Each structure stands twice: as C-alpha cells, then as structure tokens.
Amino acid sequence: MTDAPGEAASPADVHRPEPSLSGVDLARVALRAAKQQARERGEQVRQKRESKRRGLRSGARADGRDPVPLGAAMRQLIVERGWEAPAAVGGVMGRWPQIVGPEIAAHCVPEHYAEEARELSVRCDSTAWATQLRLLAPQLVARLNTELGHGAVKLIKVHGPAGPPRRYGRLRAPGSRGPGDTWG
C-alpha cells in the first residue's frame, strides 16, 4: 500500500490481503472474488456461443421461430399491421343482433365501416325503420363505442331501402330513367 494520497497502488498491493482480516474472513473474500470471476467467464462463454449459433437452430429456449397457437399469431398480426379498429368493427358486424337487439337486427344490417371517417353505414329494409334508427343513432354510437373502445364510431349513416333495379325493355326511350323522371 502507498502512503501518498495521490499515488496509485501497485498490482502487488491490490492482491495483498489486509492485515486485520482473519482466516474465515479471508476465505469469504476469496470466495466472493472467485464467484465474480466465474460469473464474468460464464457470461463471456454464453455470448460466444450465442454469436456462433445465431440463426442456426432454435435450441431449448423459445425464440421467434417456434410455433405459436393460431389465436396468438392472429393477435400478433393484427397488432403489427395496425388492424385493431377494423378487426373490432368486423366483430361487431358479426355480433350485430347481440349489440342492437333482435328486433332492430331483423330490419337493419350494417354494410360498411369507413375507418378514416369512423362512420358505420347501416341499410334498413323500410323507410320507417330508417327513420327509427336515425332517432336511435346517438344511443347506438354510445353502445358501439363501449364495445369497441372510445371514438371507434363517430357517426352512423342510415340508408333506406334501395330502389327497384332499372328495367330496360322494348318500350323504353333512350336516356329515360323510367318512373324516376317524373317522381322519386
């Protein structure tokens, strides 16, 4: 050991035990040092093995190449691609009768979800049901947002029944829209 305060210790001084330690204390210090060296060597060996076999085989521990259950793989794919909202809305379209009730579901069907505008388009089989659904739209938006998460649906666009298809026959004038020319 050195006497001067700013002087560095020599390598021989570092390994020399302090005179106040007894035999048991010396053994504990030596054991602690040996354990630390073993940990460091073990870490170095592990890193060397990892670098050698990187990409060759899976081994006993789990990695990205191991098989996973289908449900977990689908959840991971949905999260990676950012499909959480469309997948949730797709689930709502499948559970429409449970969400809105059997009476409304018998007359109104969800058709399309616009993700950017967060609008759900619903088609009704009569104008009376379309009017009724327009009145219930704020409550349905609230119920859908509790199912999907806040702000998933901002607006429900309600469409009435589609008109009859245009019929073309021998007695039609070119460019005519049929009865739509005069009414409707």
| pLDDT tens-digit readout, 50-103 | 766 665 555 677 776 778 888 888 888 888 887 776 777 677 777 888 888 889
Residue tagged 């794919």 (tokens): 77
The yes-or-no verdict on residue 141 having pLDDT over 50 is: yes
| pLDDT, average across residues 129-143 | 90
Higher pLDDT, 174 or 160: 160
Which of the four pLDDT bands, split at 50, 70 and 90, describes residue 180?
low
| pLDDT, average across residues 161-166 | 73
Q: What is the pLDDT of residues 110-120, one digit of tens each?
A: 888 887 888 88
The H or E element that residue 143 is part of is helix 127-148
The two three-digit tokens of residue 117, written as one number: 């505008």
CA-to-CA separations, 133 to 43, 44, 51, 91, 93, in angstroms, rounded: 66, 69, 63, 21, 16
CA angle centred on 28, ends 24 and 31, rounded to 5°: 135
Which of the four pLDDT bands, split at 50, 70 and 90, describes residue 184?
very low
Q: What pLDDT, on the 0 to 100 scale, is given for residue 45?
A: 77
